[in-house]
A and B are shown apart, each in its own frame.
Chain A
């Protein structure tokens, strides 16, 4: 079977799946699956026969994990969703991240309230990972506007990074047994201490498989005008680490705003990174003119990519998991908006066009070539 580009699009009203032949000239759409129920994360698991997972976050009847083994033609619930152990006192409020693990059925899942779960049977059963879920800081983390969520899980052998809003960046060096807060250089604008040990509102962390020491972070920026205790703290929103997240430094200079949600790394070049700057107060496109910004030198300089995007009167938000990039030789970027448009940026974001313009508000976009 020729290679296909598959998009999983999580929306306020269920999951959509889009598919195209590899040239990506046109995409067909199917769905919604889990209709009427919000989907905040999806995973296209390409280990062996492709499996599509999605969280189904039902405010009425609780959280489910959806699974498709036929590239998104039909979905069914796995046998169970993550759940806190009896007596823990916490109850699952949302599922924010699903990531593939080591062997074919190993999976990781980040949830709200911020905790980590792991499955060894492809999502049919789950166990809480106590090293981070019961970390001594865990009961001190505070919910951000989107809830107290573990939204990022990055794995590199025995090293596991997690991102928590609002908790910060934590890393494990022993396969998830123990975790340490690792936020040196990660600022917080909403606390008197501008650089606390933990508690930062990390929005997203991204890495590159061929350069595991290099990490990029979209942190909660927009504090350049702050004049309260602790002093000004500009440019804390976009950061880079070159030592596996031990230390971080700002790479926000040159961007129109250091506030945003997603951050994405080019699949073939760890120095190329993409962000979507937003106005910090409204969390919408600066001046009503959306643009993705790209750096090809690890964040030292930035270029605006907006050809084909609206030039005015566009005030949407792109949420933390609503931008992704495929790994075709000349990759395409994709982002979904809170106003229900799904955009494709061909040739690495040089030329944009709208694939679907009237979907429900989009929470997440994931792409894979299968």
Chain B
């Protein structure tokens, strides 16, 4: 089951400049675990060392924020796109 991870510009240096990653995972949690295996620096930018998604990082499955679905247990279907975005902020 192949899904796509879309990366913001600020994180592309963690995976040799790639804009997107393709991987197989049945849930958002499994996708993050696969990212940790393949691209540990990218994983550390998304999650802290307790495994919690960083406070200012938003994860979307297609157009839905994972917090409005089942969080990290949100199930994935073939062709789904996970978009990683920093939260909007000023200052």
Interface residues on chain B, number (Cβ under 8 Å) = 17
B45 lies within 8 A of A86 (CB) = no
A92 lies within 8 A of B54 (CB) = no
Beta-carbon contacts of B59-91 to A below 8 Å, as 1s and 0s?
000000000000000000000000000110100
User: Which residues does B use to contact A, with CB under 8 Å?
Assistant: 10-11, 41, 44-46, 48-50, 52, 54-57, 86-87, 89
A62 lies within 8 A of B87 (CB) = no
- Is A195 part of the contact surface with B, judged by Cβ < 8 Å? no
Residue of A61, A86, A88 most packed against chain B (CB within 10 A): A61
- Is A91 part of the contact surface with B, judged by Cβ < 8 Å? yes
The residues of B that contact A86 with a CB separation of less than 8 Å are 49
Query: Min CB distance, B10 to chain A, in Å?
Result: 7
For residue B84, which residue of chain A has the nearest CB? A61
- Which positions 76-128 of chain A face chain B at CB distance < 8 Å? 80-81, 83-86, 88-92
For residue B87, which residue of chain A has the nearest CB? A60
Rounded to whole angstroms, the CA-CA distance of A62 and B11 in the bound complex is 11
The residues of B that contact A59 with a CB separation of less than 8 Å are 55-56, 89
Rounded to whole angstroms, the CA-CA distance of A85 and B50 in the bound complex is 9
The residues of A that contact B86 with a CB separation of less than 8 Å are 60-61
A61 lies within 8 A of B45 (CB) = yes
Rounded to whole angstroms, the CA-CA distance of A85 and B52 in the bound complex is 14
Rounded to whole angstroms, the CA-CA distance of A60 and B41 in the bound complex is 14
For residue B40, which residue of chain A has the nearest CB? A80
A60 lies within 8 A of B44 (CB) = no
Instruction: Indicate the size class of the contact surface on chain A.
Output: 10 to 19
User: Which residues does A use to contact B, with CB under 8 Å?
Assistant: 59-62, 80-81, 83-86, 88-92
Query: Min CB distance, A35 to chain B, in Å?
Result: 11
Partner of A91, one of B10, B41, B52, B57: B52
Rounded to whole angstroms, the CA-CA distance of A61 and B13 in the bound complex is 12
For residue A86, which residue of chain B has the nearest CB? B49
The residues of A that contact B48 with a CB separation of less than 8 Å are 62, 91-92
Residue of A59, A60, A89 most packed against chain B (CB within 10 A): A60
B11 lies within 8 A of A92 (CB) = no
For residue A91, which residue of chain B has the nearest CB? B48
The residues of A that contact B44 with a CB separation of less than 8 Å are 62, 80-81, 83
Rounded to whole angstroms, the CA-CA distance of A84 and B87 in the bound complex is 24
Rounded to whole angstroms, the CA-CA distance of A61 and B11 in the bound complex is 8
For residue A85, which residue of chain B has the nearest CB? B49
Q: A83-B49, A84-B49 are in contact. List 7 more A-B contacts (CB 8 A).
A: A59-B56, A60-B57, A60-B87, A61-B54, A83-B44, A89-B50, A92-B48
Partner of A61, one of B52, B57, B89: B57
